[in-house]
Amino acid sequence: MRQLGLARLAGAGLLAVWLLCLPAAAQVGGSIAGLVRDEGGTAQMGAAVSLLAADGRVVQTIESDYRGWFQFVDLFPGVYAIEVRQANFSLVRQAELAVEPGERTFLDVALRGVFASLQLAYGSQVRDMSERWKWVLRAKHSRRNVLRMAPAEHDERERFLRKLEGPFEDTHAYAELSAGQGNRSNGLHAQQDLGSAFAVATSLFGSHDLTVSGSSGAGRPDISGGSTAFRTTYAKEIGLAKPEVALTVRQLQSSSAATRGWFGSQHDGQGIPRLETFSLEFGDSVELTDSLRVEYGMLFESVNFVNRLHFASPYGKAVYKLGRNRELAFSYASGVPPPTATRLGQDAALRSNVRQLGMFPRVAVVQGRPTVQRSEHVEVAYRETFGDNMIEAAVYRDSIRDAAISAAVPEGVFGEGELVPDLYSAAATLNGGNYRTPGVRVSYSRKIRDRLQAALGYGYAGVLAPTRAQLRSAVSDELRQVLEAQGAHLLVASVSTELPGARTVMTGSYQWSSRESVLPADPFNDFASRSAPGLNLVLRQPLPSVAGMPGKFEASADFRNLLKTGYVPLQVPDGRVLNLLQAIRSYSGALSYIF
């Protein structure tokens, strides 16, 4: 299996080298970007920035982020106008903004109580794509003009802003208190993030990024002694690359009652096992050409649960731009794939750091011997956008070893050393054996209007499901024998909207499968139309600011599998029913503070 995975990687690598020889696509669209600050130089988060066409029609409205940054990309050549609105400041408008192919217009917006000033400079057409950025900065902060002589890049705002600040000036943080019930799992890891958590990120001298996060949580009093986790990430700009290193330690303490359930009633409660993980991750992303971006990394993980287990999980992704709005991606991942939330902005990056603290591996036992679920994923995907629409399609292959299955197990079923009690719910975890399956998926998403987006998806893949509805014996080996990969049709729908006025963000999603399965189908899906099993609802509500306090408060609620779908019943010899749980119904709420 490992040789097959290496062969796939080698094939993807040869294809990526071949793609390097293809001609780069010409840039057609331009962009408008800028900073919103007050006259004292303080970044203004949440300012409404509207892009207007030449006829005065509003094309798009966005909000500046915590740095005051805003950006409109992929604009057709033409003449536009910008309007900036922020509470307690006067309206700022700049007209006659010419957008040229491949060029960027930068605005430094200085908001004032009575009047505002706008200064801008136009970047020229990029001829040498290997040129480093060239900067022209004036002394007075609110009058700085910026001349860009490079193509648009994802990390542009971070690089620019750090050149304006001293050490430790680019500091932001996220704190959260949460509570709820049930274990959230996407089939790749168990999410234990109930309790308190924080994340603090800063920039050292403009080229070093440091993020420190930690969490502490409590599980079921009769099973768990609580969990703690700490994570530190460090990234440094080296030429055009920016490698990142992350160190994460987690601990989940069990109780003596749980230990007796794992190892038998004769256990005296001494030496109660803890689930401890130590992981070291390296990752980087580099633009090899105008058309080819490569992301790669490696996760080294050590899991200590009775015995110590060690794993190395490489991952990589090559994205080739076929045109202005089309791209082809080749990806490989083992273990748990790296999160993508950091691409959505700094708030999402901080939340992602907090969520990763609770990503414990899925652990089961076989005759008292601990096992850790391992996965491998290979995918080729195509993505194209046209206007407010996006289509995506992919073919992939998944392989799962020592699958960890949640189950509601009647008392006395299965022997000692075969069950791991779930520390955050009333379920247990069983080892479901190994399986592999190919799959396909397609997705269509559309931005219906400014604050409303919807997506539909279809897929066909193998899911792990029982071949019969009864067990002839209460032995876990038989359970693994009756579980096989079987084909299933998948339908996915999702809707996301923001209520005007209240600014409540609501995201609802639903996943339907033509066959009942014991593990979530297509766990590596990162398309717009993705969903956890069943009906799910996430709410995020900004709260009023407290006078004299920077930043913002936010309340959130997360409901998973509201209809309790995906429960697979199996009858045991004495007539009772064993329920295998694809997804446990869970709910959680959180209060967060971002500053």
| Span 368-385, pLDDT tens digits | 788 888 899 999 999 999
Q: Are residues 90 and 224 in the same domain?
A: no
Which CATH number is 331's domain given?
2.40.160
163 falls within a domain: no
| 505 vs 497: CA distance, rounded Å | 6
Q: Are residues 16 and 96 in the same domain?
A: no
Name the most confidently modeled range: 76-90, 201-215, 289-303: 289-303
DSSP H stretches of helix in 193-328: 256-263
512 falls within a domain: yes
Per-residue CA distances from 425 to 191, 350, 370, 403, 500 (Å) = 12, 27, 20, 19, 37
Indicate if the pLDDT at residue 418 is higher than 60: yes
Last residue of a domain, one of 119, 150, 181: 150
Q: Are residues 463 and 576 in the same domain?
A: yes
Q: Are residues 77 and 135 in the same domain?
A: yes
Per mean pLDDT, which range of 42-46, 76-80, 238-242, 447-451 is the poorest? 238-242
User: What is the torsional sign of CA 360, 364, 368, 371?
Assistant: negative
156 falls within a domain: no
123 falls within a domain: yes
Per-residue CA distances from 199 to 43, 147, 233 (Å) = 20, 34, 11
391 CA to centre of own chain: 20
Indicate if the pLDDT at residue 348 is higher than 80: no
Name the most confidently modeled range: 152-161, 195-204, 383-392, 416-425: 383-392
All residues at 6 or more sequence positions from 265 whose CB lies less than 8 Å from its CB, including other chains: 416
Say if strands 117-122 and 172-181 run parallel, antiparallel, or are unpaired: unpaired
Range of the domain at 126: 30-150
Question: Would you state the pLDDT for residue 361?
Answer: 84
- Across the range 321-332, mean pLDDT stands at 92
Question: Would you state the pLDDT for residue 219?
Answer: 60
Q: Are residues 146 and 292 in the same domain?
A: no
- Across the range 322-331, mean pLDDT stands at 91
Q: Are residues 43 and 119 in the same domain?
A: yes
Question: Would you state the pLDDT for residue 322?
Answer: 92
| 196 vs 529: CA distance, rounded Å | 31
What confidence category does residue 148 fall into, taking pLDDT thresholds of 50, 70 and 90?
Answer: very low
What confidence category does residue 320 fall into, taking pLDDT thresholds of 50, 70 and 90?
Answer: very high
Q: Are residues 188 and 138 in the same domain?
A: no
Please return the burial class of 233, using the count of CB atoms within 10 Å of its CB with bins 0-12, 13-18 and 19+: buried
Please name the helix (run of DSSP H) or strand (run of DSSP E) that holds residue 164, with its range, or none.
helix 156-164
What confidence category does residue 41 fall into, taking pLDDT thresholds of 50, 70 and 90?
Answer: confident
- Across the range 489-505, mean pLDDT stands at 90
**Residue at token pair 């007209």:** 95
pLDDT digits (tens, 9 = 90+) for 159-197: 555 544 555 556 778 888 888 776 666 666 666 656 788
446 falls within a domain: yes
CB 393 within 8 A of CB 441: yes
Indicate if the pLDDT at residue 441 is higher than 90: yes
- Across the range 234-243, mean pLDDT stands at 75
CB 113 within 8 A of CB 87: no
Question: Would you state the pLDDT for residue 21?
Answer: 41
Question: Would you state the pLDDT for residue 202?
Answer: 80
Q: Are residues 116 and 210 in the same domain?
A: no
Mean pLDDT of the residues in the chain: 77
Q: Are residues 421 and 549 in the same domain?
A: yes
164 falls within a domain: no
Q: Is 395 helix (H, G, I), strand (E, B) or coil?
A: strand
Question: Would you state the pLDDT for residue 254?
Answer: 63
Per the structure, the count of domains in the chain is 2
- Across the range 438-445, mean pLDDT stands at 96
CB 463 within 8 A of CB 488: yes
Long-range contacts of 3-11 (CB under 8 A, 24+ apart): 5/332, 5/334, 5/376, 5/378, 8/332, 8/378, 9/314, 9/316, 9/332
Indicate if the pLDDT at residue 343 is higher than 50: no
Last residue of a domain, one of 121, 150, 179: 150
Question: Would you state the pLDDT for residue 185?
Answer: 66
pLDDT digits (tens, 9 = 90+) for 48-86: 999 988 778 888 899 888 778 888 888 888 888 899 988
Q: Are residues 464 and 564 in the same domain?
A: yes
Last residue of a domain, one of 117, 150, 183: 150
All residues at 6 or more sequence positions from 384 whose CB lies less than 8 Å from its CB, including other chains: 325, 326, 327, 390, 391, 392
162 falls within a domain: no
Percent of the chain's residues with pLDDT above 70: 74
Which CATH number is 88's domain given?
2.60.40.1120
Q: Are residues 441 and 497 in the same domain?
A: yes
Q: Are residues 8 and 88 in the same domain?
A: no
User: In degrees rounded to 5, what are phi and psi of residue 262?
Assistant: -80, -45
72 falls within a domain: yes
Indicate if the pLDDT at residue 423 is higher than 90: no
